[in-house]
Amino acid sequence: MAAGGSYSIVEYFGGDSGYRCGYCKNEKGNFSHGMWSHTMTVQDYQDLIDRGWRRSGKYVYKPVMNKTCCPQYTIRCHALDFQPSKSHKKILKKVTKFLSKGEMPVGQSDGCDGLFKEIRGFLEPLASSLQRTVAMAAGIFLSGEQMDSAFGEGGYVPTLEPMKIQQAECPILPSNTEINRDTRPASAETSRDEQTSPTGPRPVPKPGVGADPSRPQCRKAKELRKERRLQKEQQRWQDESSLTGPNPAPVNLASNQPKTIEDFIADSLQDDPLHRLEVRLVRSAPPSPQFKATFNASYQVYKLYQMTIHHDPPDKPSESQFKRFLCDSPLEAETSPDGPDGGYGSFHQQYWLDGYIVAVGVIDILPSCVSSVYFYYHPDFASLSLGSYSALREIAFTRQLQKQSPKLCYYYLGFYIHSCPKMRYKGQYRPSDLLCPETYVWTPIERCIPRLDISAYARLNEDTKAGDAGALKDLGRVLVLHRRTVMPYSVYARKRKGSSDEREVEQYASLVGQTSTERVLLYRP
């Protein structure tokens, strides 16, 4: 129960049936336990993801690790100790070069464009059974109109024609945008060196004799920046020497201290860049005024992303599907004296480029972490590796929040799937840990990889005697909600003589752990 007196309320569905796997395409190999969450406190959800659960909209699921074809291990990054790798630096520099000079890389993205996409479409094989079960049992929580909103597909069919701007404060970026051209107002005159061609304007080289051999060669901007840093360090050392007397030779701090994510992000924030990028945080549940005002523009980017990147048919990424998948959340908005200024709960991080939304990161801010749910972007920017870039920005965001909330120091990347090579990139954000599926103890990923190379499923905790510290100890203390009344399961069982749900309740309780069962309410009809 939260400090404010509210409970988390869930309905458990079990996990005996197999469904199609989105990784290895096994038609019946995907096994997971699931439950529908009507409402949930951020602390209860933090405890659940620390036992291998994950949400997709309001549906919360946990892979059956020793049974499913592609075991999915919860992964977290130590945000405070993170240092960008060489490949991460290339991505950060690539985005900086685009913002400052408008240079768009040629070619495909880095393979991480669908970051955290493993939950995409997870509800689809369960949609009919979920709708039927929840509709039968959840009437006390949802009205008929709310049920239609939660499960109805609507009749909207998107179009590929250029989209009209429907909100002056939030224009929509159309597809096939000319992203390499300066978006700032052009002068009244057109350059005479720009002539038309069958493929559009093409600059014509000016006549000349080449570089002037009498003038010094141009130097790289990187060298100039390094030289300026060294000059500043030298000047600071000289100023300190004049006050404190002779000192040993100064240490070249610029070369000994690696650049942080914040340093790279600061490099992109120049005084007069060609493109301006701003990341805005808006609360999605309950929806803030800013979220409502930008909803349509955000949805249009999602629709283009799903159709272009994932090849969805035009009628699949409907507005109701978008709401159900990425906007609806069971998490309550909560604040705490030692928490982030914006509070805990579910948010969208909107990436605004020159006044347009070009990408959105869906995240949950929890007591101990920032948990990334999904990320999507305008297809015209695929070559910027925005999936990886957003992960780096979210790590930097976690570090920023930690200054306000000391406990909030981890960045959760969803699931790490070692048996699927395309999903191993999450292990590159180090230092990171994987969650042991048997003891729920975090283990450094370096020690996990050798075990996973041998077997897709493995116990990661190296202590062979260790067990689940949060294991179920007393089934009778499990809290249930029956006829609008909260009671222990032992009382409920006496009221419902001959009840045959003990095995199901015991399975649920063993999966969520003893602590959670005494706070989360399990709905019983």
Residues 437-487: tens digit of each pLDDT: 999 999 999 999 999 999 999 999 999 999 999 999 999 999 999 999 999
- Phi then psi dihedrals of residue 235, to 5 deg: -65, -40
With 70 as the cut, is the pLDDT of residue 176 above it? Answer: no
Predicted local distance difference test score (pLDDT) of residue 499? 74
* Residue 4 confidence class, pLDDT cut points 50, 70, 90: low
239, part of any domain: no
Residue with tokens 């900086």: 96
pLDDT in tens, 82-108: 999 999 999 999 999 999 999 998 865
Q: Which residue type sits at 413?
A: L
pLDDT grade, residue 272 (50/70/90)?
confident
pLDDT of 56 strictly over 60: yes
Q: Does residue 248 register a pLDDT over 50?
A: no
- Measured CA to CA in angstroms, residue 411 lies from 13, 79, 263, 366, 432 at distances of 29, 6, 19, 10, 9
Q: What pLDDT was estimated at residue 111?
A: 47
Residue, of 229 and 259, whose pLDDT is higher: 259
Q: What is the pLDDT of residue 329?
A: 98
State the pLDDT at residue 216.
57
* Polymer length in residues for the chain: 525
Query: Could you give the CA distance from residue 23 to residue 466 in angstroms, rounded to a whole number?
Result: 31
Mean pLDDT (whole number) for 121-148:
41
Residue 197's pLDDT band (cuts 50, 70, 90): very low
Inside any domain, residue 201: no
pLDDT at 164: 37
Query: Residue 115 domain-assigned?
Result: yes
Closest CA to 90 of 252, 259, 279, 309: 259
- Using the predicted structure, report yes or no on whether residue 247 has a pLDDT greater than 80: no
User: Which range is most confident: 51-65, 146-160, 219-233, 491-505?
Assistant: 51-65
For range 171-178, the mean pLDDT: 70
- Mean local confidence (pLDDT), 9-28: 91
456 within a domain of the structure (yes/no): yes
pLDDT of 245 strictly over 90:
no
Query: Which tops the pLDDT comparison, 292 or 145?
Result: 292
Q: If DSSP codes are grouped into helix, strand and coil, which group holds residue 222?
A: helix
Tell me the mean pLDDT in the region 123-141: 43
- Identify which of 447, 422, 421, 419 has the alpha carbon closest to the alpha carbon of residue 433: 447
Cβ atoms of residues 2 and 334 within 8 Å: yes
Task: Look at 182 and 1; give whichever has higher pLDDT.
Answer: 1
Structural domain count of the chain:
1
Would residue 176 count as lying in a domain?
no
Mean pLDDT is lowest, of 55-64, 116-125, 188-197, 253-262, for 188-197
pLDDT of residue 202: 47
263 located within any domain = no
Spell out the residues 6+ positions from residue 440 whose beta carbon is closer than 8 angstroms to its own.
50, 51, 52, 468, 469, 470, 513
Q: Which domain holds residue 447?
A: 8-160+274-469
pLDDT at 520: 98
Q: Name which residue leads in pLDDT, 144 or 315.
A: 315
| pLDDT value of position 267 | 86
Judged by average pLDDT, the poorest of 135-144, 255-264, 327-336 is 135-144
Note the pLDDT of residue 132: 41
Residue 37 lies in a domain: yes
Q: How much is the pLDDT for 472?
A: 97
Instruction: Sort residue 280 into left (φ over 0), alpha (ψ -120 to 50) or beta.
Output: beta
Q: What is the pLDDT of residue 478?
A: 98
Look-up of token digits 């399961």: 489
Which pLDDT does position 14 carry in this prediction?
85
Please check the confidence at residue 278 and state whether its pLDDT lies above 60.
yes
Q: What is the pLDDT of residue 181?
A: 40
Q: Which two tokens stand for residue 46?
A: 């933090």
Residue 390 belongs to a domain:
yes
In angstroms, rounded to a whole number, what is the distance separating the alpha carbons of residues 245 and 262? Answer: 34
Q: In the prediction, which pLDDT does 170 show?
A: 74
- Asked if the model's pLDDT at residue 187 lies above 70, the reply is no
Average pLDDT on 500-521 reads: 96
- The mean predicted confidence, pLDDT, of the chain is 82
Q: Confidence band (pLDDT; 50, 70, 90) for 1? A: low
